[in-house]
Amino acid sequence: MTTIEVPRPATLVGRDSEIARLKDVLRALPDAGSALVLLGDAGIGKSCLLEELANLARQAGARVLDVAGIEPEAQLPFAGLLQLLGPVLNHVDALPQSQRRALLAAFEIEAGPAPQPFLVALAALGLLTEAAAVAPIVVVVDDAQWLDGPTHDALAFVARRLERTPIALVATVRAGHEGPLTRSDVPVQLLGALDDAASRQVLSRHAADLNRADRIRILAEAEGNPLALVELPAAWRARAIDDGFVPLNTRLERAFAARLHELPAATRDVLLVAAADDEDAVAEILAGAGLLAGRPVGVEALEPASAVGLLSYDARRISFRHPLVRSGILQAETMMRRQQAHAALGDALDGHAYRRSWHRAQAIVGVDDEVADALEESHTIALRRGSVTSAIRALERSAQLTSDSARRGRRLLLAAEHAFGLGRADIVDRLVTAAEKDDLSDLDRARTEWLREIFNDGIPGDAARIRELCAIAQQSASAGDRDLTLNLLLGAALRTWWADAGADVRAHIVEVTERIAAQQAGYDKDPRFVTTLGVAEAVLAAGRVTELLSPIAAEAVTDPDALRLYGMVAHAIGDPVRTCDFLGRAETRLREQGRLGLL
């Protein structure tokens, strides 16, 4: 036989070195056989590499025999071996009689005494060798950890004896599952996560419609796991709210929490509390698990979870093997169990106001104004820690627990304002839509006008809408809400910037803005004031804007929103030096805060 010619380039992203090794296995045929185990985490791409190998082998003229381990069939002796060897059983009569009888008895094709495992394994090797005389054979074994024990033992026997045959055997094994193949001297190829460039390339094929912030979040959650990169976008689109709980479809849940059902009850309690917790302290998690179980839980409860590869731990910290293990555990449990875990954590976190409020809120069905008030009050802690997304989730959950319609709407609008700070138009729209269903005050109705406006570029000649925004701003000023007033005026000015509504309307915005500032102390010191003037009347107000910008030293401004606004108005009046200075500093600070949507 001539050496196999391996066709076509690799089609999998980020797996060039692994595919090169698989091609080396094929190129050695038929002169030398070999075996290889692909070992890696769930979803890491083992099955895809096997499929690639099978396609390459068929195109090269080799015969492919395959078998996939199925967990429910793991108790059926030789079920996997029969699936694998069924297509070549026509060669069984070429085997020595003792091997033939043993193999057919193992498959229950013929009656006979209980087969000896050694004879069955020897018969499997002999049958493959007979079939390979026609064409080289490539055996692909997927999910070997789920094969029945006798089949797994037989394949390990075969794998160690292929060197002088025209047979290659490649098997995949999930990390954390020891077995005959991984305990033998068969070479093992460890599959790691995709690098950042490959991860982005995979995600771009499946999440082109998602916004940048969601794609970044998925990249972080997936940690280079190909299955997660492929499946998470669809689950992301289907979720109703961003509650911090990463949604998994059935395939992902099965991959990342597959061994949960094997564990003792105490271990499942610890895992559930650890998954619900936002910290990783062993003492805190064990305390919560003890409250959940109604009895003390010790560190020994972690050992079974560590043994099956779900987590690692030391005296102080617990670490899940992959972020999606946490989500898989939460999703595998019932809602009642998740609520009980949150309640236990809330009771265990005395002295941690924000975290206690958050966990108590997750443990409730229906409304609870006391918890809602505590959650709204404590959301500022999340803001001080720089976690705007946590603050948004806290306010949204607070609204869900609120009985009064007006207060519920106000909390949703406050969450929407924080979402605007992240540049998340999708979240703003969702929250405002929900708030509009409540009985809002006049000021909050005005707030919805602004929030609807901030991502609107306007349409040419839309003068009536701009005047309406100015009128609402004057009402807000009379009610004493400076932030809302300035936000509305800036929204009106931006409409004229993107779609000119005429000189009269621009002059009207400036006149209203100056009049309100003259009547209210401190307005002219706010960056939104000068930005409104310059964006509305870039030419006629340029002198006034320059006068207001001149005393402002960019290096003294720490607020990235102020820097962004000052840069915007400097650009509007044609001042490139100040534009670059302000916007350059704004970009740095916004990136530091993760507010990429405003860049």
Summarised one tens digit per residue, pLDDT across range 538-566 is 999 999 999 999 999 999 999 998 999 99
- Indicate whether 51 pLDDT > 60: yes
- Residue 416's SS3 state is helix
User: Taking Cα atoms as reference points, which of 146, 317, 331 lies closest to residue 256?
Assistant: 331
Average pLDDT of 429-449? 92
- Range scoring the smallest mean pLDDT among 374-383, 432-441, 486-495, 565-574: 374-383
Task: Please compute, for residue 275, the number of CA atoms within 13 A of its CA located in the half-sphere on the CB side.
Answer: 32
Task: Give the separation between CA 487 and CA 477, rounded to whole angstroms.
Answer: 11
Average pLDDT of 114-118? 84
In 95-228, DSSP assigns E strands to 137-142, 167-174, 188-190
Residue pLDDT, tens place only, 397-431: 999 999 999 999 999 999 998 888 777 888 899 99
The two beta strands, 137-142 and 167-174, are parallel
Task: Please compute, for residue 237, the number of CA atoms within 13 A of its CA located in the half-sphere on the CB side.
Answer: 10
Average pLDDT of 386-391? 75
**Angle, alpha carbons 309-310-315 (nearest 5°):** 90
Mean model confidence pLDDT for the chain: 87
- Range scoring the smallest mean pLDDT among 20-24, 55-59, 252-256, 542-546: 252-256
Tally helices (H) and strands (E) across the chain: 29, 7
Task: Give the separation between CA 581 and CA 564, rounded to whole angstroms.
Answer: 10
What is the distance of C-alpha 96 from the center of its chain? 55
Residue pLDDT, tens place only, 280-291: 889 999 999 999
- Tell me if 575 sits within 8 A of 554, measured CB to CB: no
Edge-to-edge strand order for the sheet containing 188-190?
63-68, 137-142, 167-174, 34-40, 188-190
The two beta strands, 318-320 and 311-313, are antiparallel
pLDDT at residue 422, rounded to an integer? 77
User: Taking Cα atoms as reference points, which of 135, 3, 4 lies closest to residue 63?
Assistant: 135
Provide the residue count of the chain.
599
- Indicate whether 254 pLDDT > 70: no
Give the tokens for residue 334.
């019932």
Give the tokens for residue 539.
């030419």
Q: Between the CA of residue 417 and those of 112, 374, 432, 445, what are the distances in Å?
A: 77, 20, 10, 14
User: Taking Cα atoms as reference points, which of 148, 161, 159 lies closest to residue 83?
Assistant: 148
- Range scoring the smallest mean pLDDT among 40-49, 221-230, 457-466: 457-466
- Tell me if 563 sits within 8 A of 582, measured CB to CB: yes
Q: Which residue has the higher pLDDT, 588 or 241?
A: 588
pLDDT at residue 245, rounded to an integer? 56
Average pLDDT of 264-291? 92
Contacts of residue 193, defined as CB under 8 A and 6 or more positions apart, other chains included, come to 44, 199, 223, 224, 225
Q: How confident is the model at residue 327 (pLDDT cuts 50, 70, 90)?
A: confident
Average pLDDT of 210-216? 83
- Indicate whether 1 pLDDT > 50: no
In percent, the amount of the chain with pLDDT more than 70 equals: 91
Task: Give the separation between CA 62 and CA 17, rounded to whole angstroms.
Answer: 22
- Indicate whether 588 pLDDT > 70: yes
Q: How confident is the model at residue 9 (pLDDT cuts 50, 70, 90)?
A: very low
Give the tokens for residue 105.
């008895």
- Indicate whether 6 pLDDT > 80: no
pLDDT at residue 410, rounded to an integer? 94
Domains of the chain, CATH where assigned: 16-190 (3.40.50.300), 361-440 (1.25.40), 443-524+531-536 (no CATH)
Give the tokens for residue 481.
């809400």
DSSP string, 346-373: HHH-TT-HHHHHHHHHHT-SS--HHHHH
